[in-house]
Structure 1
Amino acid sequence: MNNLLIPNNDWDSNLYENKHAFVWQYGEDLLKLLNPKPGESILDLGCGTGQLTEKIALTGAEVLGIDSAPAMIEKARQNYPHLRFEVADARNFQVKEPIDAVFSNAALHWVKEADAAIACVHQALKSGGRFIAEFGGKGNIQAILQALYNALAAFNIPTEGLNPWYFPSIGEYATLLEKQGFDVTYAILFDRPTPLAEGEAGIANWMQMFAGTFLVGLSAEQQTQVTRAIEEYLKPTLYHKGTWTVGYRRIRIVAIKG
């Protein structure tokens, strides 16, 4: 397996586990679509700290978790030392033998080069193998993105090239899959309003965890100012009775290698 890293991919695995457990908790529904069987070979693409990888393994499947963030893989190995985890890039990975399924929860919206990721998934699967994925879709976190751009513009901070995300429509992503030889058998785009932990600090924690690329290069004081501006902008709509709720929209896909 190629161990190609994304530069500066310095995820805070403790913040992820302690404050953002919803990332894998919501992914448990996706496991039902995967429906892993004993003895199957399954790749968990973008496995994070390994919680869903372990749930797949508990079904008796042989599972490998990969993630591009070394900190995540290190934490996954600590959490589940009996399972296999490797640092690898979704855009450039290979498996030694074709596998039965590729599973991916809340990872592919970080991969702008969707064609490269889909090609790797296709190559990894046996004929008839399945690709089960969920990630941010069209309209995901729209209010937060608008607030980010507004706040940065107010401080005269350039925003070009800062957005790390890829939020496609169903039509766009299904077309990419079909072009590379997949049959898309299930696709849905749905709203999932997601409450954040830690009360009033919720959106600041979220920003620190997921939106760091927008704040790179800013002083600590500037980061605080931008975060406060975003909180003020979003509070009337996203903050209610002591809890921030993020407007997630998710795409869920099942595709079969032809």
Structure 2
Amino acid sequence: MTSLLPSLLTALDRFNTAHPWDHNAHFHPWILRQLPRRFGSALDVGSGSGDLVRLLAARAATVHGIDPDPAIIARARELTPSAKAAGVTFTVADAPTGIPGGSYDVITCVAVLHHLPLADALAAFRDHL
């Protein structure tokens, strides 16, 4: 039985490489179903490498992603080469205090709300909607 373990782990590794799964990305289709087909602007708080930002960009005139991690924001910019032309921007910023000025039609925050001071975050999101 133990001789099967290395083969099984190798097979699982190959499967995961071919079909990566991300807990956060799992919710992206559900979020998109809750939104109108077109809207003006969106803010994605805790945008990470920008997966949801790029999906929102297909529906919005402008999308802004913020994340406190400079390395992941750099990665998001790399993965979104035509970002400026598509109305997409990424900024290193903390929520709720670092939300860029202005208002948004949509604010998303997948798997980040529990990391923020809840009352302050909800008040800041309300002020920017």
TM-score, shorter chain, exceeding 0.5: yes
Once residues 89 and 111 of structure 2 are traced to their aligned partners in structure 1, the CA distance between those partners, rounded to angstroms, is 20
Unpaired runs of 5+ in structure 1?
Answer: 1-17, 126-258
SS of equivalent to 1:44: strand
Unpaired runs of 5+ in structure 2?
Answer: 1-16
Change (3 A) 1:36 1:116: farther
SS of equivalent to 2:66: strand
Aligned CA-pair RMSD: 2.0
Q: Does 1:37 align with 2:42?
A: no
Equivalent in 95, 102, 107 of residue 107 of structure 2: 102
SS of equivalent to 1:26: helix
Per-residue deviation at 1:36?
Answer: 4.8
Task: Give the length in aligned residue pairs.
Answer: 106
Pick the structure with greater CA Rg: 1
Letter in 2 for 1:30: I
The percent identity for this pair of structures is: 31
Question: Any conservation in 1 of the 2:41–2:60 contact (CA below 8 Å)?
Answer: no
SS of equivalent to 1:120: helix
The structure where strand makes up a greater share of residues is: 1
Query: Could you tell me which residue of structure 2 aligns to residue 66 of structure 1?
Result: 66
Query: Could you tell me which residue of structure 2 aligns to residue 22 of structure 1?
Result: 23
Query: Could you tell me which residue of structure 2 aligns to residue 79 of structure 1?
Result: 79
TM-score, scaled to structure 1: 0.38
Change (3 A) 1:79 1:69: same
Per-residue deviation at 1:37?
Answer: 1.2
TM-score, scaled to structure 2: 0.71
Once residues 65 and 86 of structure 1 are traced to their aligned partners in structure 2, the CA distance between those partners, rounded to angstroms, is 6
Question: Any conservation in 2 of the 1:93–1:120 contact (CA below 8 Å)?
Answer: no
Question: Any conservation in 2 of the 1:94–1:123 contact (CA below 8 Å)?
Answer: no
Per-residue deviation at 1:118?
Answer: 1.2
